[in-house]
Amino acid sequence: MARYASHKDRKAGNRGNAEQLTSAQADKETLAGLRRIIRRVGLQLAEKVLTAFHVMCDRDTPRKHVLVLGGALAYLLLPQDMVPDYLPAVGWADDAAAISSALVRVAVSVKPEHREKARRTMRGWGLRLA
């Protein structure tokens, strides 16, 4: 399946000559998108979002759990959702609820190293947990 070459191509719906992205490139793009969202939302949700991402990327995570977390992250990344994100204070509440409930649902798959990877990613971005 061809992936979009860039965010601009995705917005424009251009798939024509889009280059195939490797898994590492796709992960890098996903993390870049998550980083943009985390900057807007703040640190309260950051660790949960990144933990969910690292649980999804773990090959030991059951497929069912990957799908649950993937759905929650897609809900977070997609512009249309139940409560528009541009509304002050409540705009991100439904996104936080989606990620939190997904992590509760797959709690048996969340390992301490996933949380540590999330914290390391945040530190790499210059973000600190309180």
Which residue type sits at 47?
Answer: E
- Give pLDDT tens digits for 65-83: 999 999 999 998 887 878 8
Residue 97 pLDDT exceeds 70: yes
CA distances from 39 to 21, 42, 44 (A): 25, 6, 11
Across 111-124, average pLDDT: 94
Q: So what's the pLDDT on residue 26?
A: 79
- Which two tokens mark 89? 């204070």
Q: Which of the two residues, 88 and 120, has the higher pLDDT score?
A: 120
Phi, psi dihedral angles at 79 (to 5 degrees):
-70, -30
In this prediction the pTM is: 0.67
- What pLDDT, in 10s, does the model give residues 8-29? 555 555 554 445 567 778 788 8
- Please list, in sequence order, all residues whose beta carbon lies within 8 angstroms of the beta carbon of residue 33, skipping any fewer than 6 positions away: 7, 77
**101 contacts 72 by C-beta, under 8 angstroms:** yes
Predicted pLDDT at 39 = 66
Q: Which of 9, 11, 27, 28 is nearest to 19 (CA)?
A: 9
Q: Which pLDDT does position 116 carry in this prediction?
A: 95
Distance between CA atoms of residues 54 and 48, nearest Å = 10
